[in-house]
Each structure stands twice: as structure tokens, then as C-alpha cells.
């Protein structure tokens, strides 16, 4: 459904100055300024990697700090917006402040500013909807397939690609059929993906579509490829054809709610609070565990007063925390929750962490994050499980992908080690099957 006005317009909208990869944006407004929907409120520093930020509502600036800009919305709002000024597609994408809307938020203009060579290059639309529960991308494609194709055409023209591929899981036959109906360009094809996690990870997409496994330090451009999230592609179409800045976001809202388990909202104004979104979904149930911003695997714990930002894809009210064992072992995977996230969950379970192991394919990068050597293809976890048993673990808490979880479940029960997964609370809240043994 489209996001409409209502009670949420009485509350402050917050716009963090860091919503993307790169440096913080610089405010261009001051306290008591009146701003309109679509008006520029923060710019990226000249010559630095970053992104512009726009107000998603009409109202008055009440705070400008080093961290954020707060705006008090007017009681009367309109869907109209101040339009962008640039003429060329790449300039419009840059001006619009578009970043990757399905991951870390890498500024999209930087991805597209180097064209491919003659008669080469592939643009892959990542329509995998990688995380369980999240379904706003698939819903958007189902109802606006033509917009996706138009956005892909724009990107292919910018980077001079000779082929476009839409990577989508085969479990969505109706959506695939709708895409096939609107594709009238022989350069554009559909690639059907297996339904497993993390099939939407960038390097997994390249491996499945082009049959090339990139090194953990390589970007898709090394394979003459650009990978762009489905919603990002659609927001590119809006920026180029409608001169619309990035001010709205599609979101899946799910979990322990008073009215249904899963809701999809389109065009949610950035800056709105998490609490207001849950109210729009009918309100939170009387009892729930934690609030997650993002998906079950890689989402982070959030709060009711936190704002929706450019990279927000999901808001989940998880099941109440279950009482864990006294001693818990952690098995960290590059594709799921990191060590800190698992420690956070363990603490909420009332368990002491007695050992930490990492999937043998998880490699630490310079920025401290982990990358999987071959996403979704697990070599086995027996040694790691045995090490945690030796550390005194009475059970395991894991963050592994589908395949890794399968290997853990093949050995842990034999060692009398129960297994918990970082996704359990979210999946239980919507009555989804837990990530356990699949074969």
C-alpha cells in the first residue's frame, strides 16, 4: 500500500547525515528554516564520496546538529515535491542522492560513472529479495514491472552495457511472467535463481548469472558487470524521468503486530520514526522481543524513535526472547549477524558466551567486516562445532547461511548440542520455517 498521512505528521522527522557509504553530508539549512518536500537539506562534500539528502516532508527545521537534521512537519502535506535541476541521467542520479537501497548504501552515481568498453558489459538487476520475510521488492515489480525495465534501460545506456539481466528467484513465477510480458528488448533477459540465502549477495549473483566467482577483494566491475538492487533501479527511473529526489522508501513491516503478520508499504517518507511505521501497520502486539531494522539475517536492533533511512528495507518486531542455556557457543558467518550481533542476542537469552568460532570461509576485510569466500556454498562446519563443544558450550547460536546451517545441523545434534539461529526471533514472529537442516 502507499504511505499516506495521518497521525505520524504530528511527530518530528529525523534525517541522519550519514545514511550511505562515504563521508557525512553537510547541512545547507539552519534552525527555523521552512523547507518543502523534495528540498535539499544536506549536500555531499565536493570531491568526496557521499550523497545528497532531501526533506521528505514540508515543515520547519527545529534542529541541525553534527549528527542529524530534525524537521517538524506541517499538518497539511502533499505528494508533490521540488524537482531536480540536472539534465543528464548520471547527473540526475548523483543530484537525487540515490544510493544502494538493498545493502550498505554505496552511492549509485559512483557505480555508474565508468562506462564499459565497446560491445561489453552487463547490468544485473538484483531482484532476489535475499532476506526472508522481506517482500517489498517483489511486490513492487509485480505491480510496476515496466518501471523496472525502464530503469534498467536507463542504466544500460549510461554504462554502455550490451546486456541487461534481471536476477530473480524461481519461486516467483507470476512476477517472472509479468516481467516477460513487458520486456520488448532483445538485450534484456531473466535469470532464475535458487531459493536459498544468501542468493542476493552481490558476488553470489555474479557467480550464478555469469558463472564467475569473484575474489573477495574484487568488485563486479572486474567481470564487466554492474549489480544494482531492484528498488534502486526504480528510484533511478523516478530521478531521470520524473526529476524526483530520493525522498521515499519501500519497506516490509512484519512480526508481532496487532493486525496481521506482514505489511508492505510503498513510498514511505524518509525520516519518519520506526514507531510511527509500526502504528501504520496496526500497532505492536502487547508482547514482543526486539525491534529489528533490516532483515532477519543482517538486520540490526533498533528503537521506536529511530528514523527510517535510505537503506531501511524492513522493520520486524521479533518473538519474545527464549531462555537460553547457561553456556553458549557462537558460530559466526560472513553472510549473517556478526559477532557483536550474536553477543547481543546471547545476552538477551541470558546466556554466557564461552567460545566464538568463525565459518572457515569467512575472511576479515580491512574495514573489519567479513566476506565469504564462496557465498552460500559451505565446505562443512564439523571442526568449528567440535571446538565450541570443547570450550564448554551447551548449545550453539549461529548466523550461518542456508547451506552452512545445513552442515551445522548435520553434526551438532550428534554432539548433543541444540542449535539456535540469529533469525529465530524474526521467523517465529511471522510463523515462518526456521533456518535448520534442509536436506
**CA neighbor of 372 nearest in space, from 382, 359, 389:** 359
- Cell representation of residue 275: 514507531
**Residues whose CB is less than 8 angstroms from the CB of residue 117 and which lie 6 or more positions away in sequence, other chains included:** 224
Residue 8 is predicted with a pLDDT of: 56
Contact 376, 199 (CB under 8 A): yes
Residue 380 is predicted with a pLDDT of: 82
CA 59 to chain centroid? 28
User: How confident is the prediction along the chain (439 residues), in pLDDT tens digits per residue?
Assistant: 566 555 556 789 999 999 999 999 999 999 999 999 999 999 998 889 999 999 999 999 999 999 999 999 999 999 999 999 999 999 999 999 999 998 889 999 999 999 998 778 999 999 999 999 999 999 999 999 999 999 999 999 999 999 999 999 999 999 999 999 999 999 999 999 999 999 999 999 999 999 999 999 999 999 999 999 999 999 999 999 999 999 999 999 999 999 999 999 999 999 999 999 999 999 999 999 999 999 999 999 999 999 999 999 999 999 999 999 999 999 999 999 999 999 999 999 999 999 999 998 899 988 888 999 999 888 788 999 999 999 999 999 999 998 888 889 889 999 999 999 999 999 999 999 998 865 5
Contact 396, 422 (CB under 8 A): no
Residue with cell 559512483: 110
- Cell representation of residue 266: 510503498
Give this prediction's pTM.
0.95
**Residues whose CB is less than 8 angstroms from the CB of residue 347 and which lie 6 or more positions away in sequence, other chains included:** none
**Residues whose CB is less than 8 angstroms from the CB of residue 82 and which lie 6 or more positions away in sequence, other chains included:** 36, 37, 38, 39, 245
Residue 315 is predicted with a pLDDT of: 98
Residue 366 is predicted with a pLDDT of: 86
Contact 268, 309 (CB under 8 A): no
Question: For residue 411, what are the CA distances in angstroms to 326, 329, 391, 406?
Answer: 21, 15, 16, 9
- Cell representation of residue 69: 537534521
Contact 99, 313 (CB under 8 A): no
Residue 150 is predicted with a pLDDT of: 98
Residue 3 is predicted with a pLDDT of: 60
Residue 283 is predicted with a pLDDT of: 97
Residue 431's CB is within 10 A of a number of other CB atoms, namely 9
| Secondary structure (DSSP) of 320-374 | PPPP--SEEEEEE-TTS--HHHHHHHHHHHT-EEEEEEE-TTEEE-TTS-EEESS
Residue 119 is predicted with a pLDDT of: 72
Calpha distance 387→293 (Å, rounded):
32
Q: What is the 3-state secondary structure (H, E, C) of 146-177?
A: HHHHHHHHHHHHHHCCCEEEEEEECCCHHHHH
Amino acid at each position: 500500500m502507499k504511505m499516506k498521512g495521518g497521525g505520524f505528521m504530528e511527530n518530528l522527522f529525523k534525517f541522519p547525515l550519514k545514511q550511505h557509504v562515504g563521508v557525512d553530508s553537510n547541512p545547507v539549512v539552519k534552525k527555523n528554516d521552512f523547507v518543502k518536500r523534495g528540498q535539499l537539506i544536506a549536500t555531499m562534500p565536493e570531491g568526496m564520496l557521499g550523497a545528497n539528502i532531501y526533506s521528505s516532508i514540508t515543515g520547519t527545521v527545529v534542529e541541525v546538529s553534527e549528527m542529524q537534521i530534525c524537521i517538524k512537519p506541517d499538518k497539511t502535506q502533499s505528494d508533490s515535491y521540488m524537482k531536480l535541476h540536472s539534465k543528464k541521467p548520471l547527473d540526475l542520479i548523483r543530484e537525487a542522492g540515490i544510493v544502494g537501497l538493498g545493502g550498505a548504501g554505496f552511492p549509485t552515481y559512483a557505480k555508474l560513472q565508468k562506462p564499459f568498453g565497446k560491445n561489453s558489459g552487463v547490468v544485473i538487476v538484483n531482484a532476489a529479495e535475499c532476506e526472508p520475510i522481506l517482500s517489498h521488492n517483489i511486490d513492487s515489480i509485480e505491480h510496476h514491472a515496466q518501471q523496472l525495465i525502464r530503469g534498467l534501460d536507463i542504466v544500460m545506456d549510461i554504462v554502455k552495457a550490451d546486456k541487461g539481466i534481471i536476477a530473480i528467484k524461481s519461486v516467483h513465477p507470476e512476477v517472472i511472467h509479468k516481467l516477460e510480458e513487458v520486456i520488448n528488448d532483445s538485450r534484456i533477459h531473466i535469470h532464475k535463481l535458487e531459493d536459498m540465502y544468501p542468493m542476493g549477495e552481490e558476488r553470489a549473483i555474479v557467480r550464478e548469472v555469469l558463472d564467475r566467482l569473484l575474489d573477495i577483494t574484487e568488485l563486479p566491475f572486474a567481470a564487466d558487470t554492474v549489480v544494482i538492487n531492484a528498488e534502486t533501479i526504480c528510484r533511478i527511473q523516478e530521478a531521470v524521468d520524473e526529476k524526483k529526489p530520493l525522498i521515499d522508501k519501500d519497506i516490509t513491516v512484519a512480526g508481532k503486530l496487532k493486525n496481521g503478520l506482514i505489511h508492505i508499504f510503498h513510498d514511505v517518507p524518509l525520516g519518519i520514526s520506526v514507531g510511527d511505521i509500526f502504528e501504520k501497520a496496526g500497532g505492536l502486539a502487547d508482547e514482543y522481543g526486539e525491534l529489528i531494522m533490516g532483515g532477519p539475517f543482517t538486520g540490526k536492533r533498533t528503537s521506536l524513535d529511530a528514523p527510517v533511512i535510505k537503506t531501511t528495507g524492513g522493520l520486524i518486531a521479533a518473538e519474545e526472547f527464549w531462555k537460553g542455556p547457561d553456556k553458549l557457543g557462537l558460530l559466526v558467518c560472513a553472510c549473517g549477524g556478526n559477532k557483536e550481533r550474536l553477543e547481543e542476542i546471547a545476552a538477551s537469552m541470558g546466556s554466557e558466551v564461552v567460545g566464538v568460532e568463525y565459518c572457515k570461509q569467512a575472511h576479515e576485510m580491512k574495514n573489519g567486516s567479513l566476506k565469504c569466500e564462496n557465498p552460500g556454498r559451505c565446505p562443512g562446519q564439523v571442526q568449528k562445532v567440535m571446538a565450541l563443544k570443547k570450550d564448554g558450550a551447551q548449545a550453539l547460536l549461529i548466523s550461518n547461511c542456508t547451506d552452512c546451517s545445513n552442515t551445522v545441523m548435520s553434526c551438532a545434534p550428534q554432539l548433543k548440542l541444540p542449535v539456535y539461529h540469529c533469525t529465530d526471533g524474526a521467523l517465529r514472529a511471522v510463523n515462518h520455517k526456521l533456518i535448520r537442516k534442509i536436506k
